[in-house]
Amino acid sequence: MKKFDNIDLNLMKVFYYVYETQSVQMTADRLNISQSACSHSLARLRSRLNDELFIRINGKMIPTNQAEQLAQSIQPALELLYSGLNSATPFDPDVGQHHFVISGYDFSAWCVMPTLTAYLAEHFPNITVRLVQSDKQIPTEHLESGEIDLSLGFDHEAEQSNHIGNAIWQSGQYCIAMDNQHDALMAGRPLDLDTFLAYPHVLVTPWNEPRGIVDATLGKLNKKRQVAVTLPSVLSAPFLLKGTNYFLAAPESYLETLADTLQLAFVAPPIPIPQYHIKLYWHKVREKDPKVNWLIHRLCDLAAIPLNPW
């Protein structure tokens, strides 16, 4: 074991987090140490490796070439160590009481949670779930620390990440919803781009984004719309349309459940809005954790997603 005598795992963790966050303060927060202690550890690394490793540029710690090369070894090493420690404790869903913490926002929870809870109630009533709302689209820090086991996300791209694994639960199209007495309908006007821009809109921003996918799509056409109301809830937004001339771009699958109740009309958008994706997110550091791995696989089974989406 002498070949490990000179390895300080704490220094490896400091390097990993500075590389990931590009911030000494954020690294200190994650490791629950002072900023000065974090800076001291970074200084030890620099001295030991005879390289600056990270250079502060515009407030960010940018890795040097040597740091980039080192990261390719340290990241998988830490992930392997974490997986090894956790795999030593098997997960048996039939034995004892188990609890999962899942983050999401209203629409992603509406899509996923009824299927999951029905499955657990029938097969594993000893497993409880707590759904929490995150202020970030992907709560990377909480997924990594284990405060959150899985996140139910919403995106428009099938992106890949070095740290976050994901699988698409479902994809869908947007429709444009409006009150069935909307002036444009009463006038018999087709929903072309001019009509679309002539009336105010409801904008949904779950994480307080300054604009949405409709605005991004319009921006490519050098067009802008008038936003009358902004709110964070997809599920609440259609209820704001009654008695107004607002337009709302929302998932077709949800609008179909409300059309009769709220007396809504909805049509295809006059611009090519990308599909949305409801995603399952987890941190790759924890994907071999038996408990997290079990949850990922059960959800993939329920959605008929391939069992190796990562």
Q: Where are the domains of the chain?
A: 2-87, 98-170+277-302, 174-271
* Per-chain mean pLDDT for the chain: 88
pLDDT for residue 3 is more than 50: no
**Pairing verdict, β 127-132 and 98-103:** parallel
Q: Please say whether the beta carbons of 226 and 201 come within 8 A.
A: yes
Please tell me the CATH code under which domain 98-170+277-302 is placed: 3.40.190.10
The reply to whether 174-271 shares the fold of 98-170+277-302 is yes
First CA to last CA distance, the chain: 34
Can you tell me the distance from the alpha carbon of 22 to that of 32, in angstroms, rounded to the nearest whole number? 17
pLDDT for residue 205 is more than 90: yes
Can you tell me the distance from the alpha carbon of 179 to that of 185, in angstroms, rounded to the nearest whole number? 9
How far is residue 310 from each of residues 82, 149, 166, 177, 296, measured CA to CA in Å? 18, 16, 7, 35, 11
Which pair of structure tokens corresponds to residue 113?
Answer: 């949670």
pLDDT for residue 289 is more than 90: no
Q: Which CATH architecture has domain 2-87?
A: Orthogonal Bundle (1.10)
Q: How many CB atoms lie within 10 A of CB 185?
A: 15
Q: Which CATH architecture has domain 174-271?
A: 3-Layer(aba) Sandwich (3.40)
Q: What is the pLDDT of residues 34-82, one digit of tens each?
A: 889 899 988 988 888 888 999 999 889 998 988 888 888 787 777 666 6
Helix (H, G, I), strand (E, B) or coil at 11: helix
Q: What is the pLDDT of residues 222-265, one digit of tens each?
A: 999 999 999 999 999 999 999 999 999 999 999 999 988 999 99
Q: What is the pLDDT of residues 255-288, one digit of tens each?
A: 999 988 999 999 999 999 999 999 999 998 888 8
* 53: region left, alpha or beta (phi > 0 left; psi from -120 to 50 alpha): left
Report which of 139, 143, 131, 136 is spatially closest to residue 106, judged by C-alpha positions: 131
* Helix then strand then coil, % of the chain, to nearest 5: 45, 20, 35
Q: What's the confidence (pLDDT) of residue 31?
A: 81
Helix (H, G, I), strand (E, B) or coil at 29: helix
Q: What percent of the chain is predicted at pLDDT more than 70?
A: 91
Identify which has the larger pLDDT, 85 or 229: 229
pLDDT for residue 124 is more than 70: yes
Q: What percent of the chain is predicted at pLDDT more than 90?
A: 57
